[in-house]
Amino acid sequence: MPLRPARRRRHVVRTVRAALVALATATVAALSAAPPAAAADTWTEVGSDRADPLTESQGLTSVEVPVNSANRYTGIGTIPLGVSTRGWNHVGDPDASYDGYYVEPYQRDSGTSKMFRVQAPGGAWSEYVHALSSGEALNNSWVAIAPGGQWMLSGEWGTMTRLLVFPTPGVNPSTSPSANLPQASTVRLDRAVRDVQGCDFTGPTTLLCSSDDPAGTLFGITKPLLRIDLSAEPNGTSDVTGHVTALRQLPLRSSCSGTFETEGIDYDRRTGTLRVIVISPGFCVLTDSKTYRFTRS
């Protein structure tokens, strides 16, 4: 039976209202599903250099003090004998403060502590040991010194929703080689990250990180370059939050097939160049492992 005019009008109104509600719901869903603005932070590969598997396979950093200092790398071949014989047989991705303090992260195969080896601008070395907190993972893959210099971030292996904040050894006046280096606070991540091998600050509250994630289930890609935007500069008195965005997959190119391993990362603020080490699979670890260079575009 055809609708009467009044009923027809009410029917049309209900239809239009339902359509508007459906449109608004779809718009909200699309906006919430869209990648955040940080995803527009595009890093384009501009070149690469061979990474020596013994001395350039774990990490790297640019050093601003003294002026015109060479970039520094870490690998199994850079660990001093006197350090490795005491069980510190793995070195991770280092970093340097803007005033020239250089920090290397070390770990053992077992135990309840980590170690940070520090070289002062004058050349003297010292060691700072951190006793693991309850539930803290043993590995010590990387350090990232905040631009202010007083605070330093580190991370744990596996799938994690936090980064650890320490006073920067040798820089922060509260630290001493003769005392435990305590965890000061935490960065709480809004999304889980997996197997982070290195991070570096590009600004007071922005980090770029290299992930060795082999599964790709967290962001839809394996071996991602991540950006972490902090809610505030890290400090030792309160936790801050970190918003995680996957920017791109890191290069996975080699004459050999198999499993690649992403390693350390460095952002050189003087040139705006980002560098990431990617180790090739199999025999090609010796021949075509690379430090890739990127610039923002």
Name the pLDDT band for 1 (thresholds 50, 70, 90): very low
Residue 25 belongs to a domain: no
Choose among 43, 79, 42, 80: nearest CA to 59: 79
Residue 2 belongs to a domain: no
Residue 290 belongs to a domain: yes
Residue 110 belongs to a domain: yes
Determine the structural domain holding residue 289 and report its residue range: 42-296
Please count the structural domains in the chain: 1
Tokens of 224: 């991602």
Per the CB < 8 A criterion, the answer to whether 117 and 106 are in contact is yes
Residue 160 belongs to a domain: yes
Residue-wise pLDDT tens digits, 71-94:
999 999 999 999 999 999 999 999
Residue 17 belongs to a domain: no
Question: For position 222, which CATH number holds?
Answer: 2.120.10
Residue-wise pLDDT tens digits, 165-209:
999 999 999 999 999 999 999 999 999 999 999 999 999 999 999
| Cα dihedral 18, 21, 23, 28 in deg (nearest 10) | -160
Residue 10 belongs to a domain: no
Tokens of 125: 């070395």
Residue 14 belongs to a domain: no
Choose among 283, 296, 282, 276: nearest CA to 51: 276
Q: Is the pLDDT of residue 282 over 50?
A: yes
